[in-house]
Every structure is written in C-alpha cells, then in structure tokens.
C-alpha cells in the first residue's frame, strides 16, 4: 500500500438501513421490458460517454472518460460543448497530452474556457493532476486500486482515498490562497462520500470503465467488480427511484446512492447498474413523471 494512502484518514458516513419498502415484486420484469425497448442509440448522442468511443487506445479512453464525466454537470448541451472544446485541444492522444502538460509552460492554453463555476485554471490543473497520477501509478485504474485492501473496502472509502491521492499531488501551487478560500476550483472534480456527496460523476466514470462493453459502457478495467459499483445518483435517478420504490430516502447524497444500489442488487446482484443508462435518460428526456400517458414503467410507479 502506498505511503500516501496509508497516511490518509478516512471517515465513512454512518450506514443506512435497507429501504423499508421492498421494490415491486415484478420490478425486474418491467425494468427488463423497458430496457429491451429503450432506444439506446438515440440517447447515446446526448450522453458524454460518446466521446470515449471516439478513441481506440485504452489509455486515451481512460483519460477522455475522466474528463467527460468530470464536466458532466449542467445542461446536456453545455456539457457536450465543453467536452468537445477540451478534446479539440488535447489532440489525437489525450493520454500523451496530459503526461507532458505543464500549466506553467502554456498559461494561455484553454483561455476563456468556462463551464459553469469551473474555469480554465481549474481545467489546466485537472489535466496536470491526471498526468501526475499516470506518472506515479501508471493509470487511473491503478490509482484507485493501489491499496492492498482495495478489493474489500467499501466504495466510499475507495473514492475518498482516490480524492486524497489526486489532491495530494500539490494542486495548491497553482492557486492563490484567496482563490482556494473562496471557491472549490479543481477540488470540485474530486468529491468525498465521507462528506455526504453522492459522487455522481466519479460513479458515472466507474460505470463507463468497469461495466462490460455494450455499446455504452466500455469494459476497460478488470480490477473492480461490477457488483461493487454505486449508482451515479442525479436528480433524475433520485426522483425515479423514489417513484418505483428503490428508496425511501428523500435527500440525494451518498446514503441514497447506496440505498438505491442496494435495491438494484436484489434484482441483479452481479450488475446492479444494468438499468442506469436507460432510467437516467428517461428522466433527461422529460418522459417522467406523468408527461406521457404510456410510461414504460407506469405499472410499478407510485404515481
């Protein structure tokens, strides 16, 4: 285990009891029917995972996946536009770019970039951190699984360790003290489950990397089992999950993400995120709730 990971104290949120209301007894059947009829290709063009599929080299896919998931907040159009601009500057090999990138060498690079509250400096520091992680660990996957107990610790601990490792690369050197005090900056890309965050974008990244290649997810990583994945909880998933009885919790956060995933594991123990893409895009498309008279999962919805 690396010295940095050994030295990083991690506190995990108190456990939450399983949801008290069992999902509908026919939930699996209805979700399977929904999945079969879901037009995946139509929705892929509105999902940032599309960028990962542009590259053949697994090293590039890993880096592009992290960047695309890191900026997957805000409206879909702005997310796709921001990621498109970033990749346009990284050239044909994003992994080579981040390994050699020095924010001080080209301070004008990405000038004017702004994605909601993250600016060009945050982006440059993020790329620098990714390059340092690759230099030290060889890959993002190895960074996450460097510790000897990485196969057994809860996912909350694994993500907290990853955040500590990434931010331990020395991001502070690129910010004025006043800037770090007034805004999160690059730290926004490395949330902590121990602070209650649902870690939606990190969990989304893990889904892309870990789940078997199916035209959406990529199946690049082998050291994290699909059964350990946690749902990338956003407003769409949290709302729909309450409607169909996957959770009784009201506040989106890590506790709800674990609770929803726990319910999905009852249906699909080895692959609890099997339905994530379809359910999320059902919400993004505005098909839920009650806008459509023929909702594909209406029979199991509380509404």
Instruction: Render pLDDT for 144-198 as a digit per residue (tens, 0 to 9).
Output: 999 989 999 999 999 999 999 999 999 999 999 889 889 999 999 999 999 999 9
pLDDT band of residue 4 (cuts 50, 70, 90) is very low
Handedness of CA 47, 53, 55, 61 (dihedral sign): positive
Contact 286, 76 (CB under 8 A): no
Place of tokens 């790329």: 127
Global pTM?
0.88
pLDDT band of residue 291 (cuts 50, 70, 90) is low
Q: What is the mean pLDDT of the chain?
A: 87
**Cα–Cα dist 259/272, whole Å:** 12
pLDDT (0 to 100) of residue 1: 38
Chain segment 256-290, per-residue pLDDT in tens: 999 999 999 998 999 999 999 888 877 665 556 55
Lowest pLDDT segment from 31-35, 132-136, 163-167, 238-242: 31-35
């Amino acid at each position: 285990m690396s010295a940095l990971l050994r030295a990083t104290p991690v506190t995990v949120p108190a456990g939450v009891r399983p949801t008290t209301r069992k999902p509908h007894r026919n939930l699996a059947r209805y979700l399977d029917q929904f999945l079969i009829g879901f037009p995946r290709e139509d929705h892929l063009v509105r999902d940032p995972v599309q960028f990962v599929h542009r590259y053949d080299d697994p090293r590039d896919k890993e880096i592009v996946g992290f960047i695309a998931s890191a900026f997957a907040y805000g409206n879909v159009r702005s997310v796709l536009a921001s990621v498109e601009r970033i990749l346009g500057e990284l050239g044909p090999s994003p992994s080579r770019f981040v390994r050699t990138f020095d924010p001080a060498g080209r301070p004008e690079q990405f000038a004017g970039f702004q994605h909601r509250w993250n600016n060009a400096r945050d982006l440059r520091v993020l790329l620098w951190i990714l390059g340092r992680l690759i230099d030290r660990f060889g890959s993002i996957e190895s960074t996450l699984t460097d510790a000897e107990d990485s196969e057994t610790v809860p996912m909350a601990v694994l993500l907290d360790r990853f955040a500590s490792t990434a931010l331990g690369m020395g991001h502070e050197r690129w910010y004025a003290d006043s800037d770090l005090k007034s805004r999160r900056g690059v730290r926004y890309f490395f949330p902590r489950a121990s602070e209650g965050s649902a870690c939606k974008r990190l969990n989304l990244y893990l889904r892309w990397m870990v789940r078997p290649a199916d035209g959406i997810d990529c199946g690049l990583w082998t050291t994290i089992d699909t059964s350990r994945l946690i749902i990338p909880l956003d407003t769409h998933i949290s709302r729909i999950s309450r409607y169909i009885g996957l959770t009784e919790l009201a506040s989106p956060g890590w506790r709800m993400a674990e609770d929803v995933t726990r319910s999905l594991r009852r249906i699909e123990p080895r692959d609890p995120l099997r339905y994530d893409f379809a359910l999320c895009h059902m919400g993004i498309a505005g098909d839920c709730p009650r806008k459509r008279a023929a909702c594909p999962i209406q029979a199991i919805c509380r509404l």
